Amino acid sequence: MKPFPPGTSTLDLFLQACLPRRDAVPPTLTDKAVIPGIPNARYRLDHDLTPFMQDAVESNKRESEVLAKAGKPNDILPLANMLAVSGGGDAGAFAAGLIAGWTTHGSRPMFKVVTGISAGALVAPFAYLGPEYDGVIRYVSNAIGPKDIFHSRSVLTRLASDGIADSKPLARLIAKYVTAQILAAIASEYAKGRILLIGTTDLDSGRPVTWNMGAIASSNAPGALELFRNIMLASMSIPGAVSPVMIDVDVDGKPFQEMHVDGGVITQVFLYPPTTVMSLSKAVGAPLRFDRHFYVIRNGTLEPQWSGTKRRTLSIGGRAISALIQTQGISDLERIYRMAQQDGADFSLAYIGSDFSFAHTRKFDGEYMKRLFDYAYQLSAKGYPWHKSPPSENTQPRNPR
């Protein structure tokens, strides 16, 4: 062992320590990495759409078979309602309140596709399963506080760790509600042709990963439940703020490990790749579908939020990142809107309006989340005034027809 230079202090040794991990996947092998026992667990949609398209075709075939068994027409598939829930940290209480209020109003549809990213990943599985799980959505938005999400590390520990805080409290919360029974329920819906997707960021490759949660739930693989929970946790793990989630993968039988963090690093909200509908229409033997309705929930406002910024490094950096995320989120909405126009889909957008105002000075403040949940719930229970377009130079949000 090579000796440390004279004068090396205990603090120096502490800061030079590196948390252990299995080898990262080499860049030339990234696209070959698979989850052991669940080869169809995910997609890298920035590179190859083929696996996703194959699964989309099979999903529609399963849906068609279910319709046929029920004695319903299945040559043309019915309207597909699709729900995308964005990131937003503690503002995820907005989506929770809106979904619960939607049930109360009586107009909430069953969704063919549900996607979640970051804060949306905590809501998405329960929104996918239906109104009987609104109680879970309500709890995780109303009955938790900062200590139920993250555990802050000491200043010294932060310097040698992989995040300012660890997410063990959030992991316990996810484990409490994402059980083997939940996995079985998701698998049952997946068998009917429904789709649940959650996004993370592979930090080593700097690329997005879209996880096929229904396939994971249906796999019966020994580690499926742990993987499902870890994906939800990773999607909410803000890099630097909390520890990343390490996920074991194989490349041609050789083990590696990927580092996954918040999917919001790359995108704030998503549905499917822009060429999906065109490709499905050309797929041999695939049933056709003409009607789609996109519902997009943005856990945030559409207007930039003023914030007096202290002349300190962390304050300046944090403010710059929040402004970047705000702009990115608007761009994501406009991308999905253009896709809706391209595919002939109806588009409905919900977001936190300027009429909601409640100051909170810390993340995951319980009172703030409760107020936001109640605000969204009341709007939705009366019939939410969905906006039919996102903000841009040429289109302005308006109430539905």
Q: Look at 84-93, 229-238, 389-398 and tell me which has the smallest mean pLDDT.
A: 389-398
Most distant CA pair in the chain: distance in Å? 82
Higher pLDDT residue, 314 or 359?
359
Report the pLDDT value the prediction gives residue 302, as an integer from 0 to 100.
81
Tens digit of each residue's pLDDT (9 = 90 or more) over 221-262:
999 999 999 999 999 888 767 888 999 999 999 999 999 999
Cα 123 to Cα 4, 129, 369: the distances in Å are 49, 10, 14
Report the pLDDT value the prediction gives residue 20, as an integer from 0 to 100.
78
Tens digit of each residue's pLDDT (9 = 90 or more) over 268-321:
999 998 888 878 877 777 788 989 999 999 999 887 666 667 777 656 666 666
Tens digit of each residue's pLDDT (9 = 90 or more) over 25-34:
999 999 999 9
Task: Report the 10 Å Cβ neighbour count for 234.
Answer: 29
Report the pLDDT value the prediction gives residue 16, as an integer from 0 to 100.
46
Report the pLDDT value the prediction gives residue 401, as an integer from 0 to 100.
39
Query: What are the backbone angles phi and psi of residue 170, rounded to the nearest 5°?
Result: -65, -40
Mention every residue, 6+ apart, whose C-beta is less than 8 A from residue 3: none
pTM for the model: 0.89
Q: Check residue 345 and give left, alpha or beta (phi > 0: left; psi -120 to 50: alpha).
A: beta
Residue type, position 244, single letter: P
